[in-house]
Amino acid sequence: MKPAIPEKSIETLREEHGSDVVRLSLNETSIGPSPLALEAIRRQSETVQYYPEGSSIELRRKIAQKLDIEPEMVLVSFGADNVILLIGQAFLDTGDEVILADLSFPTYLLMTRIMQAVPVKVPLKDLSNDLEAVAGRITEKTKLIFVTNPHNPTGCVTTRTEWERFLSAIPDHVVVVLDEAYFDYVVSDDYPNSIDYLNGSQPVIGLRTFSKLAGLAGARVGYAMAPPEIVGYLQRVVEPYGMCSLSQAAALASLDDEEHREKVLALNRAGREYFHHRFDEMGLTYSRSETNFVFVKVGQDAGTVYEKMRAKGVLIRPIVGWSTGDYIRISIGTPEQNERCIQVLKEALSRRQS
């Protein structure tokens, strides 16, 4: 295995590219978290010498109350990323199979490799999950299936009909993970909410995060929603002292700020329309994203476009080594950041320049 290479910190990027560097590569929230969350971190810091309560019960209670489920159905950890690792530790043995989309969130594959399990990759169909093909790849060795909805990096939504047909065909020995990192941004009416599938016969784990809408990516808070029995299995592999107390306080407080939530969503909606209009003008095709990012086919090598844009202080995510190699993902930022991004993208794509 090779270690994953994460993006440099925003501080380092500012040193290298200047203070106005724009990072639209990690789907962060441009305007940051709720002021209530920042205040909660300050307050909580006064008792930072004490270990936190291990099961994060206060945060789990609040999340459960918001979702109208039991706290026993919620497990909190250091980002949804770490929840994914916990799921692997709880359910996988060497040689088990994990089904995931070919082009999906990298941590699924990382976790599969760590657990010495076998990844089974299923191509996307029209930039969306092909759940029929996924169901067709199930064997006796399949233990986990990852479905991202809306999908990352394409932003496309899988409909309730597709999901329910798929779920009804899943055998008992398989756990389905429904990653809903972008749940908050969905506009479709026929979106299948994981909460509605936690009491069925099929083991389903829903995943969500405070890194996107809540703007707390640096605090690392994510959670699983699952039947109590499944949460019980995950609890066997968590560290006894659980989550960072400052992060828990921030997440708790952010749940109270409806106004901030609406503000982020409104900014995001406007930003998405802006990007899509510009793409139309530029003659570029893009996905029907229901997330805080857009996914566009630029018609030139994605890696080269990325380098050219980076040289001008705008970071986007090139999708390298997949399909035609000319797709990029751009996180939606503030109006100023979005405009600068389009400007720099146009320059990168212009023939004159290259």
Chain residues in the site for ligand PLP (CB under 6 A): 27, 79-81, 105, 148, 152, 179, 181, 209, 211, 217, 222
Q: Please state the closest distance from residue 222 (CB atom) to ligand PLP, in A.
A: 3
- To ligand PLP, the closest distance from the beta carbon of 101 in angstroms equals 11
Please, what is the minimum distance in Å from the beta carbon of residue 105 to ligand PLP? 4
Smaller CB distance to ligand PLP: residue 101 or 120? 101
Question: Look-up: residue for tokens 């476009």?
Answer: 305
- What angle is formed at CA 86 by the lines to CA 83 and CA 91, rounded to 5 degrees? 125
Distance CA 292, CA 1 (A): 31
262 φ/ψ angles, rounded to the nearest 5 degrees: -65, -40
Residue 126 tokens read as 């029209």
CB of 349 to ligand PLP, least distance (A): 26
Q: Which is nearer to ligand PLP, 143 or 212 (CB)?
A: 212
Q: Which residue is nearest to ligand PLP (CB)?
A: 79
The smaller minimum CB distance to ligand PLP, of residues 79 and 215, is found at 79
Nearer to ligand PLP by Cβ, of 215 and 227: the residue is 215
Amino acid at site 185: Y
Closer CB to ligand PLP, 97 or 179, in the complex: 179
- Least distance CB 158 / ligand PLP (angstroms): 13
- Residue among 110 and 138 whose Cβ is closer to ligand PLP: 110
β-pair type (142-148, 175-179): parallel
Residue type, 33: P
Q: What angle do CA 175, 178, 184 make, to 5 degrees?
A: 160
Q: Is 304 helix (H, G, I), strand (E, B) or coil?
A: helix
Minimum CB separation from ligand PLP for residue 130, in Å? Answer: 17
Of residues 218 and 299, the one with the C-beta less far from ligand PLP? 218
User: Please, what is the minimum distance in Å from the beta carbon of residue 165 to ligand PLP?
Assistant: 22
- In angstroms, the CA 22 to CA 313 distance is 6
Nearest approach, Cβ of 250 to ligand PLP (angstroms)?
13
Pick the closer one to ligand PLP by CB: 278 or 331. Answer: 331
Question: Going edge to edge, which strands form the sheet with 222-225?
Answer: 74-77, 222-225, 204-209, 175-179, 142-148, 97-102, 118-123
Q: Which lies closer to ligand PLP via its Cβ, residue 71 or residue 222?
A: 222
Angle between the 106-114 and 79-91 helix axes, to the nearest 10 degrees? 40
Amino acid at 158: T
Cα-based distances in Å from 302 to 23, 106, 195: 17, 18, 37
| Cis peptide bond upstream of 153, omega within 30 | yes
> Which amino acid is present at 204?
V
> Helix-strand-coil percent breakdown of the chain, rounded to 5?
40, 15, 40
Burial of 3: CB neighbours in 10 Å, binned 0-12, 13-18, 19+: exposed
Nearer to ligand PLP, 330 or 348 (CB): 330
CB of 46 to ligand PLP, least distance (A): 26
- Smallest separation, CB 220 to ligand PLP (Å): 6
